[in-house]
Structure 1
Amino acid sequence: MSATALIAGAGALPRLLIAAAPEMLVCQLEGFEALPGAEVLRFRIERLVPFFDALAERGIDRVCLAGAMQRPRLEPEFFDARTAALVPRLLGAMQAGDDATLRAVIGLFEEFDFEVIGADAICPDLVPGAGVLCGTLSAEDQRDAARAAEIVAALGAVDVGQGAVVARGLCLGVEALPGTDAMLDFVAQHRALAPAPTTGVFYKAPKPGQDRRIDLPALGPQTIAKAAAAGLAGIAFEAGGVLLLDRDATLRAAEAAGLFLWGRSR
Structure 2
Amino acid sequence: MSRVAVIAGQGRLAPAVIAALDDPLVYALDGFAPDVAATPFRLERLVPFLDSLIEAGVERVVFAGAIRRPRLDPEAFDPRTAQLVPRILGAMQSGDDAALREVLKVFEENDLTICGVDEVIPDLIPSEGVLAGTVSDADRRDADRAAAILTGLGPFDIGQGAVVAQGLCLAIETLPGTAAMLEFAAAHAGLRPNPNGARGVFYKAPKPEQDRRVDLPTIGPDTVTQAAAAGLAGIVWQAGGVILLDRDEALRRADAAGLFLWARA
**Which bin holds the TM-score, normalised by the shorter protein?**
over 0.9
Aligned residues: 263
Partner of 1:226: 226
Per-residue CA deviations over 1:26-66 (Å, capped at 9, x if unaligned) read 01122333644x4x332111111110010000110010111
Query: Residue type of the partner of 2:145?
Result: R
Following TM superposition, by how much is the alpha carbon of 1:122 offset from its aligned partner in structure 2, in angstroms? 1.2
Partner of 1:12: 12
Contact 2:32–2:67 under 8 Å retained in 1: no
Q: After the TM superposition, list the runs of 4 or more consecutive aligned residues in structure 1 that deviate by more than 2 angstroms.
A: 30-36, 195-198
Following TM superposition, by how much is the alpha carbon of 1:238 offset from its aligned partner in structure 2, in angstroms? 0.2
Judged with a 3 Å threshold, the aligned counterparts in structure 2 of structure 1 residues 239 and 2 are, in CA distance, closer, same or farther, namely: farther
Contact 2:10–2:35 under 8 Å retained in 1: no
User: 135, 159, 163: which one pairs with 1:161?
Assistant: 159
Helix, strand or coil: the match of 1:164? strand
User: 58, 61, 68: which one pairs with 1:60?
Assistant: 58
Helix, strand or coil: the match of 1:262? strand
CA distance in 2, matches of 1:123, 1:14: 12
- For the pair 1:213 / 2:213, whether they are aligned, the reply is yes
Helix, strand or coil: the match of 2:58? coil
CA distance in 1, matches of 2:171, 2:20: 35
Per-residue CA deviations over 1:103-128 (Å, capped at 9, x if unaligned) read 10111111111000111211111100
Query: Residue type of the partner of 2:226?
Result: K
Contact 2:8–2:34 under 8 Å retained in 1: no
Partner of 1:181: 179
Helix, strand or coil: the match of 2:93? helix
Judged with a 3 Å threshold, the aligned counterparts in structure 2 of structure 1 residues 216 and 23 are, in CA distance, closer, same or farther, namely: same
Partner of 1:192: 190
Partner of 2:245: 245
Per-residue CA deviations over 1:121-167 (Å, capped at 9, x if unaligned) read 11111100000011111111111111110011111232111111111
Contact 1:155–1:162 under 8 Å retained in 2: no
CA distance in 1, matches of 2:55, 2:207: 35
CA distance in 1, matches of 2:226, 2:204: 14
* Correspondence list, 1:1-266, <5 A: 2-33=2-33, 35-36=35-36, 38=37, 40-194=38-192, 195-196=194-195, 199-265=199-265
CA distance in 2, matches of 1:231, 1:207: 26
CA distance in 2, matches of 1:32, 1:60: 22
CA distance in 1, matches of 2:229, 2:12: 22
Helix, strand or coil: the match of 1:53? helix
Give ranges in structure 1 of 5+ residues lacking alignment: none
Query: Residue type of the partner of 2:212?
Result: R
Contact 2:186–2:230 under 8 Å retained in 1: yes
- Calculate percent identity across the aligned residue pairs: 60
Judged with a 3 Å threshold, the aligned counterparts in structure 2 of structure 1 residues 35 and 137 are, in CA distance, closer, same or farther, namely: closer
Contact 1:188–1:229 under 8 Å retained in 2: yes
Contact 2:138–2:166 under 8 Å retained in 1: yes
- What's the C-alpha RMSD, in Å, of the aligned pairs? 1.4
Judged with a 3 Å threshold, the aligned counterparts in structure 2 of structure 1 residues 121 and 2 are, in CA distance, closer, same or farther, namely: farther
Query: Residue type of the partner of 1:160?
Result: I
Following TM superposition, by how much is the alpha carbon of 1:2 offset from its aligned partner in structure 2, in angstroms? 4.3
Following TM superposition, by how much is the alpha carbon of 1:178 offset from its aligned partner in structure 2, in angstroms? 1.5
Helix, strand or coil: the match of 1:96? coil
